[in-house]
Amino acid sequence: MRALVTGGAGFIGSHLAEALLARGDDVFILDDLSTGSVENIRHLKSCAKFHYVFDALQNRHLLAEMVDESDVVFHLAAAVGVRLIVESPVRTIETNVNGTQLVLEAASKKRKTVFAASTSEVYGKSTNVPFCEDSDLVLGPTTKGRWSYAASKALDEFLGLSYWKEKGLPVIVARFFNTVGPRQTGRYGMVLPNFVSQALSGEPITIYGTGKQSRCFCHVNDAVQAILRLVDSGQAVGEVVNVGSDQEVTIEELAQVVKQRADSSSAIVYVPYDQAYEPGFEDMLRRVPSLEKLEMITKFSPQTPLPAIVDSVIDHFRGKREVLTTDAEAEIALLARAVSEAGGTATP
């Protein structure tokens, strides 16, 4: 199979690219590196079946060419992270809605299967837990920028399903619930990498809000397996499917697990939402998926337990620190040698 992954240099996209290559597929990625990183795919560049282009979806001719070369399009490119969404609502809406429309339009011309990544955020403030795919969506007011991401992704879903119903384009929509693991950045407000970074640095582990809010964390490897099974099943076309774990944990409990697994002495502190994001910021108390549909279609459900998930993130951060330390030591040694040969004194 020849696969195009938009947002392929991102967190989930890079792991998906790995899995596709591991099973022998040809992989093409398109990423503008706005939130993705070259570091996420550097280890894949030597693979003969891996091809990458750093450009925007708005390059219609390039997008059309890459879609034409592919059998299936995994559309993961999106504005992500609560902080980015609050600070840049225009970018959030334009990136998500315009990007998805361009992908669907290009894929429709060649009738290529599209896997479209959506989010549990679309359930909004619903209290009908666990969230089922056919449940009502309960969004906050348009005066709260917090909900612009949810609204834009809901519109993405409407677009995708409309292309299926009206034009017969094979579209699969997956709503991801807190996917975590190695390579995820905390830059845009993702809770687990922020907790791990703080714990390993000895900084206070910072909880936004009361910490009583609960989430279900799914390891990225499990999420990738769900993606591949949905696309391969043939039964998910025209469907919306939850992808995530249903093992619920409060943010307070997550902080304690991270502190324990990292053997950290960090204090746990609380910051009100108004200070962390913006005045009047709204959040949902619980976010738990129903996985019945995923299990019915794929015969699969995520199984990685929370301690193992946290350990994988800790190991990743520690590995990065070792590389940075080694690189720094090497640079200092080179500097010292150069200065010594010049008859001077090195001052790192």
Which residues are tagged catalytic? 149
Residue 174 and residue 115 in contact, taking contact as beta carbons nearer than 8 Å: yes
The token duo for 113 is 């299967």
Of the candidates 39, 38, 30, 33, the residue with the CA atom closest to the CA atom of residue 73: 30
Q: Is 174 exposed, middle or buried (0-12, 13-18, 19+ CB in 10 A)?
A: buried
The token duo for 85 is 């969404």
Q: Coil, strand or helix: which one is 331?
A: helix
By DSSP bridging, strand 26-31 and strand 50-54 are parallel
DSSP codes of every residue in 207-262 = EETTS--EEE-EEHHHHHHHHHHHHHHSS-TT-EEEES---EEEHHHHHHHHHHHT
Q: Coil, strand or helix: which one is 15?
A: helix
Of the candidates 283, 212, 218, the residue with the CA atom closest to the CA atom of residue 246: 218
